[in-house]
Amino acid sequence: MPDDFNLKSFLSDLPHLPGVYRHLDAAGEVMYVGKARDLKKRVSSYFQKTLSSPRIAQMVAKVARLEVTVTRSEAEALILENNLIKSLKPRYNILFRDDKSYPYLHITGHDWPRIAYYRGATNKRGQFFGPFPNAWAVRETIQILQKVFRLRTCEDSVFANRSRPCLLHQIGRCSAPCVGAIEAAEYERDVHRAVRFLNGEAKDVMGEIEARMLQASTELRFEEAAALRDQMGSLARVLHQQTMENVSGEDTDIIAVAIAGGKVCVNLAMVRGGRHLGDKPFFPSHAEGEAAPQVLEAFVAQHYTDNAMPPILVCSHTLPDPELIALLVEQAGGRPSRVLTRPQGTRRSWLEQASKNAEMALARSLTESGARAARTLALAEALDLDTDEAALDALRIECFDIS
């Protein structure tokens, strides 16, 4: 450490307060950012004889200076820690790419509501459903709503200027409210049924459609009964295809960690309104040598600082810090969430599937990485360049468009 920095004096002066600490190297670069409930205890623990991992020991050996920021609460420290990690990208912190916001399905607040893919702030008029793990999951759900409830998807400018039904009406995907082919009250009821479906009441909606079909048949309104029969059939096929059904009705995130070949994958699966919406793999950087629980903790802290936490988290490993979930809920001002690491029944099958998907995504990534490395080595050999590992890592190709 530099002569002007007295570690012993610095540690003795640290307060027993919450805050954020930063480890800096001789060049002044931040190597690691962490939060603490008690700064004095946490920072001092890095300079004990035994450390939690060789990776941390390697980092501590390079520490030239320490900086701390006292916060009013541990929840505030958590927010500051994540902001610093995202802005500074310290090489000893596990980093998850700060991806763009998750997509939602939006049912607008118009007199004739439309269903639309949406990404952004959810403070506009209408109802938002999600988040969804990817754009494909949103568009699949929109297709389901078109088939079953025949809600419009057209832009308002198109809706206001149509003189005859579009192709979607002809193929049974829209009830053509633009030309008055359906009464406003009936369209509103279809919107309400779609909302109930998205909120996990699919079976109740199915029963209601069946009752209406039987009543129409009894009253000899056979054309209406046939339309309701087709609607019920479409919904039945959706329910049959949706094998991962949430019996409790509570929104759930399933998080599984897989480690192999020096690489890590965190797979996030989402269940909303009783429907499994798919999953999304994340590949953190700077995670080499870290254990799965530490990777899981880093993901939960970084992901749920920016995204709403559902009532239930099903995790493949136990979180090292049992207070983390409470801190995230406190800073978001939401309802308490439960964390399950030994789920039973349906939730167990979700976790098993999420773990398999994490392993498959990791295997694909390792295969692709191996292929890229082999191609890079072949190129370096063909151009008579250095082929040691450091040189290959630094190798890049620059392209210029001169058209």
9-37 pLDDT, tens digit each: 888 889 999 999 999 998 999 999 999 99
Domains recognised in the chain with CATH numbers:
7-93 (3.40.1440.10), 103-241 (no CATH), 252-364 (3.30.420.340)
Q: Is the pLDDT of residue 290 over 90?
A: no
Helix and strand element counts for the chain (H, E):
14, 11
CA distance 379 to 395: 10
Residue 248, pLDDT > 70, answer no
Would the pLDDT of 244 be above 50? no
Do residues 151 and 143 make contact, with C-beta atoms less than 8 angstroms apart?
no
Q: How far is Cα 88 from Cα 95, in angstroms, rounded to an integer?
A: 10
Contact in structure between 103 and 138 (CB atoms under 8 Å):
yes
DSSP letter, residue 152: B
- 281 SS3 class: strand
Enter the pTM of the model: 0.71
Cα–chain center distance at 217: 46
Q: Stretch 248-271: mean pLDDT, rounded?
A: 89
- Residue 55, class by beta-carbon neighbours within 10 Å (0-12 exposed, 13-18 middle, 19+ buried)? middle
Cα separation, 249 vs 271, in Å, equals: 9
The packing angle between helices 292-306 and 324-332, to 10°, is 10
Rounded CA gap, 348 and 342, in Å? 7
Asked whether residue 242 carries a pLDDT value surpassing 60, the answer given is: no
At residue 243 the predicted structure's pLDDT band, cuts being 50, 70 and 90, is: very low
How far is 217 from 303, CA to CA, in rounded Å? 52
pLDDT of 247 reads: 53
Q: In whole angstroms, what separates CA 140 from the centre of its chain?
A: 18
